[in-house]
Each structure stands twice: as C-alpha cells, then as structure tokens.
Chains A and B, each alone.
Chain A
C-alpha cells in the first residue's frame, strides 16, 4: 500500500483550473514565504535549505545547499534556473511551469536572496510555448505586485528575472551547455575542470544552476522550516519528489510522492497513482530515471523510491521519470528508439559519443528490421564498452559530458536481461512482434 500521508509540497494547487494566476496564488498562501525570507538573514535562509538537505531535482541529485555553499568564497554573479526538461518521458517541470509558475518565481527570488544575486535567468525549453507565456505573465504580475524588481516588498533586496527560451536541443539540459546557449552559442558542453559553473559559469563568472523543481520546493521549506522537510522521506532522500509515470500504465501522469516511503510497485499499481498495467499485463522491465538510466526487472519493483536505494542497485532516480515496459513491449525496438534519440542529440564534440551512438543505432536498426546477425549482439556490447569502459554504473566517462556514457544504458540492459529476444530477432529475420 502506498504511503499518502505526506503534505503536497509542490502540487498543492493542482486541482485549481486557474492555479497559474496571481489571484489564485495569493489566495492559497502565495508569496508569504518570500516575505518571511526577507526578514531573515540570507545565510539563515541558506541554512534552512541546507537543513532540508534538498537534493537537486534535475537528475544528478547534488544537494542544493552544498551547491550554494561552494560559492561562499567568491560572490555569485548569476542564478540560472534550468527549465530545459528534455529527458525522454520526463514531464514534471512541464507541469510546474504551466500549472504553478508563481511558486517557481517565489522559489527563484528566495534562492537569489540566499545567494545575494540580483540577476536570474530562467532557461525554458523552447517547445513549452504555453509555459513560456504563463511564466512571463507570472513574472510580469510579480513585478506589479512588488515581489520582483527593485526593493522587493520594501526590503533592501532587488532582483531581475529574465525568461530565456531554448530552441530544441536535449543537450542544453546539461548545465554548461545551457550556459553556452544562454551566451548565444551552440549548446556544446564545456570541458571540465572546472567541474562546476560555481567556479566559471555564465560569462566566466560564478554561477549557480538549479532545476525548476528544486526552486519550486523553496517556498514550502522557508515557510515550514528545513527540519520539517527533512522529516519527510528517509536517509539522504528527504521531502517529496515529483515522479513522471509513463509507458504501459493505466493512469500515466505526474505524481508527488514522499521519498523512500513508497516503492516502484506502489507508484505503478496503487489506484492513487498509476493504477496498474494496461490490460493487467505482466511487467517486463522498468526504466527508473529517464532513458539514461539502466533498466530494472520486475524483481526490483519493491525497491523504495530513494536516491541511494536505487543507486545501490546500479541505476538512478535521475530525472524522476519512470517508464513501464510490459510483456507486449518489444525491448529491442524500445532500446533502438532510445539509441536513435541519443544519436540525434549527441552534440558531436566527442568521438565515442558522436560515432558510437550512430553505430549502435544502425546495428539496433538492422536487428529490429531484419538483417541482424548473431555476432551483432556481442558487437553491441563491445561498442557500449568503448563508450563507457567496463559498463559500470555510475559509468566511466570518455567524453566531456554525461550524455556519452548514458548511451549504453538501454542497449546494455536490454541485452543483459533479454538476450533471448535479440536472438529471436536474428532467427526471425526481424521483429517477431510485428
């Protein structure tokens, strides 16, 4: 049975049709947390976030408080908020920007105050046309309301937020690539070190990059205290988290779930969430954290939804997307399509990623569409191993950014778990499901 006792932290306004308007936001406790934050010292606000031990909700799961404190030595110049959600089957930030833009803006102002920056950029995925409209309208309304601009709510703190549209490139979700795009260039990830934009970010200056969901948690944390947030969940995974459930489930959608207290099975089967698999089919595999993550078999359905719990089993919670593959799913076709995505989105800077993704895609294509050979299966493993040597998780990196080592996850998982399906494709001369 799912545990449903936790408060709704970021989806509390979900049932209101006008949840994105200033009037609804104010009627439901909006901008109260910001007023409270402005009565505190900036370092006290940062301390609350530290105490909440809020893990970044973008994919890497780095503690937000620690990210901020890395910058104590040099003043931060810019806060950049990552709303370029493009990991396949992830749609939680889409929900937040369209349905509760004021919550996001309030979170950004709180973070900017804690960091003492006066310029924030909100990088939004270009395909979010409605989201861009609603967020810009919310920003306009926030200026009118005095929650943004010069001397916010009469305090001595001023902030400007610029909403910046992306233009369709998965790689721009990578923070250094996002910064390049914000500088008006191709979204090429930057060579590390320096590992963090905190050292060299936008225009070479110290920059904090945080995810939309991370920011959206801040009003609640300031209002209720970091300790109340940390009391939810368990271990390092505190609070609640948004999970985007998709694939072969009855009720796909975005669900706010207390971390660790619920399992993959709860999320997929509980009537409050996924409501079970379509046609009551058996689950073949799940993709636990976006298509960059190694797959799990049905034996791990009772694993709690916690960052470390999932990492211990060799995968990641990543972007908070969970895709259910059932017994009707062709895993070769699924893994092929995921590889095609990576081949299309590789920025092309690094050879293992640029060449490897296309090569794997072509081999997977011929297996799925006829023309595959038995030796292709080991060839695929060899190609995967050349992109991420040893095929461990977390992977060895041969490329500038983590897109490269994410490519092998699906193909390697599919071969490990369902080698017989690959053999059947060879023997059948194409997909037996067609």
Chain B
C-alpha cells in the first residue's frame, strides 16, 4: 500500500487550538492557551442583556454573593468547629466568645442562610411571575430546582451542627421521615445514622455532607449560569430582544444596577445580623442537645415551614413525605403544565392573580407550619396544600387555555415606551 492511500483513510485532527485571542502581550499569551479572559470579556463585559430588566433580576447576583460569603464564613467556622456530640455545642460557643470576631463570622453564617432563602424565594417568584421557566429556559429552571433541593439539604444539615435542642430533635424528626420508605425504611434510617439513634456518627457525617453539598451547589450554580448565558435573560416584557435598541451591554449597565440591588440587600442583612442576630433562629437551639428531653414544639427553620405544613397535612407518613417532596418537584413540571405562549404576567391578567394567590398560599402554609397540627390549623393546612397542587395541575393548564392575553408590544423598546406612557403596569417597588 502506498503512503498516499494511507493519508486518505484518516481525517485530519486539530488537538492544538491555541491562538485567536484579541489580546496581546502577557494577557494574549495566557488567553491563547486558556481562553478564560476572552470568555470573561465576552460573557461579562460585552454580553447583551435586555434593557428592561428590573431589580428583580438582581437576585441571581445577590444569591451568588450570598453563596460566596457563606463558603468563606463556613470555611472560617470549620477551622474551629468540632463535629463531636461532646464538644460541638461548646466549640460553637468558643467561636462566639474567644475566637477573634468569631461572633461576627458565626452570626453572619447563620443569618446568611436565612437571607439566602429570602433571596431564593424572591428569585423563584420572579421566575413564576414573568414566565422565566418557558421555552427556551426550561433546563435552567430544572437546574434551579435541583439547586433549591440541595440548598434545603445543606441548610438542614447545617442547622444540626451547633447541636442544640432543635438541632438534635429536628435531625431526629427529619431523618425519621426515611423510615416511611416501604420494606427498607428502618434499615435506611439506621444506615443514615450510622447508629441506632441520632448521635456522634450522625453528627460527624452531617458535617461532612454539609460541606460536600455546599460545593455541589457551587457546581449546579455554574451550570445554571452557563445555561443562562446560552438562552439569555428573560425580562419583564417576556419578549426576546431583537436588536441593540432592546439591549444594553452587561457592563457597566447591568453591573451597576446589580450592585445597587446587592448593596440594598446587604444593608438589610447587616442590620438584622447586627441588631437582631437571633431573631430568625429558635431560642431552644441555645440549649445543648438532650436526647432525654423533647421540646414541647419541634419546629424547623422558618424557610422550611411551608413544606413542613404540607408534610403534616397528610395523615399518612409515607404519603406526607411524598407530598412534601413533590410539592417542590412539581415546579419542574410547570414549563409543560403552563403552555401559554405569553411569558410575562404583565400581559396575563388571570395568571397574574393566580401567582399572587400562590404567594398568599405560601404564607398561609408558613403560618400553618409554625402552628400546632390540630383543629382549625389542620383544616386550613389541608386546603392550602390542596391549593398548592391545584395551582400546578389545574390552574396552570386551565388558565393557559381560557385566558386571553392583553395586547402586547412588538419589542422591548416599545414595551419601555408603553411603560413610560402608563399603558402597562409592572411591580413598582422593583423597577426604579
């Protein structure tokens, strides 16, 4: 066989992709070999973003900052914390008393967890209200739900670490939910605990998993953001940008606006952290864990209350657990249950009211979650749980069919003009 024939059999390869950098000098040298500088410029400086974004779109950035701060404060706490039932409570108190500014780091970590959830709830509300889950952003929405599940897991695990009364009893109640699994329930729970009760083995692994899941969240967030940069941001009009009249470049426009949003959020956070650091927590968690004394009311952290209410509204344990998990998972079906072509609630008069009712229902459930599961509370809780699922399975498809959307502008810049002329109403507090 001749050499010519051999060459024809193989396709050329390009394993070496260096070059093509718009930069020169050292920057260019690096960028040619590792094109992150190019990517950063492309995705964060020149990136085109709809110009109509309100402050509701700052929560993505706010959540990123929260996550970074949580990891930094968590890292510092981890250097002093001891995951041992004998020493956990005292080691947290040592941080509060003897570590330089340990009280600040610990209060920051504790309150950031709560503010992370405040921001994520507003972020999800934004998605619901402006239809950010619709084509082509379904996958982003699904990754978001994964992040939310991970957040809940790591927040729960983190809450067990100070080993106070609520830590211990919360851990006992929540891990016991796994015993509802048919046939293997008991074995699964024992496997999770590494023992026959919540104790040293459990605390030690909770600490490890608290760390692990924190970094899994970082990973999921990276995918969430990559997906965002592929499909682009939704905006209050729900209309895709068409030309440069509809967009602004990410920097300095979005960056400056997001910075304002972040600072306002930070201001509220710092005020709460410095003046009411324990307001969002439960006083019982300053009592060291005692397996022999059950607190009169075992309540989870405030951000779990709506889902705790759903769990308790179902009389059967297994069904309750399924209802609780699916109450969040059902969000993932929304892109397909709501098939209206119009994204933004600004043009959807009926859906808009439904979303507000959903929010109202969320707070009702939160109230029920903190109340004892008896009498009238149980009845309200069941109605609210039914509404939660009805919102997705009945209202979403029904409204998609019945609703007649309002007349819509052709483009985002026209939308902006309509807004100026007062033809359409948006949520005011977030549009300054």
Interaction A to B: no
Spell out A's residues near B (CB within 8 Å).
none
Spell out B's residues near A (CB within 8 Å).
none
